[in-house]
Amino acid sequence: MHLGLLAAVTWGWSASQSTQRVYTPKFVEAKLVSLKTQAPKKAAPKKKPKKIDLAAKRKAEERRKKLAAKKRKAADMKKAAARKAADDKAKALALKKAQAKKAALELAKQQELEQARKDQELARQQLEDEFFTELDEEGEYLVEEENERLAQSYVSKISSRIEQNWNRPPSARKGMKTELLLALVPTGKVVNVSIVKSSGNSAFDRSAELAVQKAERFPELQGMDPVVFERYFRQLRLVFNPQDLRL
């Protein structure tokens, strides 16, 4: 640059000497320009290459693995707890059902045993009732038989008294018989006598009726058992037959 400037000045000086020219001066507007001194920009510091800490990386990886293993273990434990809770619930429900079934079976068995006991008791009671009924019936039969035998003996005595008081009418014939009804009181007194079934012969019927009225009272009946009297003698039916005077 300096060489160029020196050459130009020398050349310009030589030319001015050889040729004189008239120049019209020109006015040049000059401005003062202040130049600010700019500080040189600092170059960005070069990034240093990162150093890889393998030990730290291994530790971080180990921590990550441990954390992941811990999370998996917690999840497994949670699942295991949930399964255990579900199993426990299922077992408890199954146990409850089994207990309910056992209780139902025991109740049914108890009811069956109770029903069997009731049936046995009922059968025993029925047997006892039948036995005592038969015994009572047998006893009643024996009593009835004894009462009937006793009544027949009294009837025989009454018949003998009536027969003693009977006057045979002329029109009476063999085989004639009439049925009489005697109304008596416990003292043996005859309060009424009537003909229930006629023999077909009024004289024969009337003679039988008079024979009872003539007897008037049968003292044999006094002191008789009231049951026997009411059963056989309150209303006494007699078939009057001279050959066979009977009930």
Structure tokens at 121: 């008791």
Band (pLDDT 50/70/90 cuts) for residue 245 is very low
- Do residues 159 and 233 make contact, with C-beta atoms less than 8 angstroms apart? no
Lowest mean pLDDT among 41-50, 92-101, 206-215, 222-231: 41-50
Per residue in 170-201, is it b (16+ CB within 10 Å) or e — as a string?
eebeeebbbbbebebeeebebeebebeeebee
| All structural domains of the chain with their residue ranges | 140-240
- In order, the DSSP letters of 5-24 are HHHHHHHHHHHHHH------
Fold of 140-240: 3.30.1150
How buried is 228 (Cβ within 10 angstroms: 0-12 exposed, 13-18 middle, 19+ buried)?
A: middle
Over residues 207-216, mean pLDDT: 91
- pTM tops 0.75: no
pLDDT at 46: 66
To the nearest whole percent, how much of the chain has pLDDT over 70? Answer: 73
pLDDT at 70 over 80: yes
pLDDT tens per residue, range 89-132:
999 999 989 999 999 988 998 898 899 889 988 988 887 777 66
pLDDT tens per residue, range 164-193:
889 889 888 888 889 999 999 999 999 999
How buried is 204 (Cβ within 10 angstroms: 0-12 exposed, 13-18 middle, 19+ buried)?
A: buried
- Do residues 132 and 139 make contact, with C-beta atoms less than 8 angstroms apart? no
C-alpha to C-alpha distance for 19 and 22, rounded to whole angstroms: 10
Over residues 126-139, mean pLDDT: 68
Structure tokens at 39: 């500080």
